[in-house]
Structure 1
Amino acid sequence: MRAYIVAALLAAGSLGGATAWAQAVEVANVKYESALDLAGQKLVLNGAGVRYKFVVKVYAAGLYLTQKVGTTAEVLAAPGPKRIQIHMLRDIDGNELGKLFTKGMEANAPRDEFVKSINGVLKLSEVFASRKQLNSGDQFSVDYVPGLGSTLLVNGKPVMAEPIKEPEFFTALLRIWLGDKPADDNLKEALLGVKKERRR
């Protein structure tokens, strides 16, 4: 029955032209697919945008959830797996990036949440420090799966021996971009789907 519904939707899309959910989003020449599979579930692209430092493009970011939402509270409360995917648009020192992420988490997460995230923060910092530098074109993502934890992948490959089990870590991580003091206000709006990016 499910296969029939999917086939019917695809047929409808072919009759009416490309549907929005089937389109990829291109941001700063980085293409984010409209949907992907994680832990056996389909995730949809909630939004994507660019992190600027002054006028320099630092990285592109895309947020994937089981369904689209429009507020930070809804993102954090959304059930199921989640992914934040980052594509570097310039070279950056690994230590510097790790420190920026830690600073962003500490500035936005409630104190008790940040304390429970310390184990993950330290692991994340160690990974970036060990890489020395992330180059333009490199990409990394953090996948959160309920009951399993958060897994960091660099250029598509896992770089940790085991997931970060504390769920608070991923919540605190998302607050870097979606918190009250986000890394970039325009990027926050883009990840929440408030700002429309060019589709392809």
Structure 2
Amino acid sequence: MRWMHTLAVGAFLTVTMALPAAAAVDVSGYRFEDTNKVAGKDLKLNGAGMRTKFVIKVYAAGLYLPEKSKALAEILKQDGPRRITLQMARDVSSEDFGKAFMDGLNDNVDKAEKQKIVAQIGKFGEMFAGVDGLKKGDVLHIDWIPGSGTVCELNGKKLIESVPDVNFYNALLRIWLGDKPVDRSLKPALLGDAR
């Protein structure tokens, strides 16, 4: 009887060790957990990748959603909170980050839609003026929280009061996931196509 117990314990340990741990995704040394809690809800890592500019690593990005999806239209319609996390791989001035933000919006949001969110764009732009650049190792969370709005935190510190329009948050997501994404190799990674 004892040998059956030993055999059962050995089999259990073998199976347990073979199961994948609830591991994080590693993007060039930057870690993204498989789940993240935003506004009390568990979000799933949809995908993660590295933003590069002329082969220079700028930041690692991760997209968290209530349900994984590879289609932008579905992502933009999802209920519940959403999160994009940027982990800085180099220092970036507020001016450069703000310019990249505006370039990304201009490339992916048409004039009529931009007119509807112009006040929110201005409010978000104020954030860049209030931050003395982003440093290597900084972590920026850009969250959509239903009933509150778009909320940004830098290293755990809230940067601006919430921006309430979901259309604004969806416009932000298009910077990375739109027709002219800021980085063509990052888009499929965030959509879960390149892990």
| Distance (Å, rounded) in 1 between the aligned partners of 2:190 and 2:57 | 16
Name the Cα RMSD after superposition. 1.5
| Distance (Å, rounded) in 2 between the aligned partners of 1:55 and 1:112 | 34
Q: TM-score, normalised by structure 1?
A: 0.85
Q: Per-residue deviation at 1:52?
A: 0.6
Q: In the superposition, relative to structure 1, how do residues 57 and 15 fare at CA in structure 2: closer, same or farther (>3 Å)?
A: closer
2:12 alignment partner in structure 1: none
Matched AA of 2:178: G
Q: Per-residue deviation at 1:106?
A: 1.9
Q: TM-score, normalised by structure 2?
A: 0.87
Matches within 5 A, 1:164-179: 164-179=163-178
| Distance (Å, rounded) in 2 between the aligned partners of 1:117 and 1:87 | 26
Which runs of no fewer than 5 residues in structure 1 stay unpaired? Answer: 1-12
- Local SS of the residue matching 1:134: coil
Matches within 5 A, 1:20-169: 22-160=22-160, 162-169=161-168
Fraction of identical pairs, as percent? 43
- Local SS of the residue matching 1:165: coil
1:5 alignment partner in structure 2: none
2:191 alignment partner in structure 1: 192
| Distance (Å, rounded) in 1 between the aligned partners of 2:158 and 2:74 | 28
* Larger Rg belongs to: 2
| CA deviation map 1:114-149 (0-9, x unaligned) | 222222222222212222321111111111012211
| CA deviation map 1:52-72 (0-9, x unaligned) | 101100111000000110121
| Distance (Å, rounded) in 1 between the aligned partners of 2:124 and 2:29 | 27
Which runs of no fewer than 5 residues in structure 2 stay unpaired? Answer: 1-14
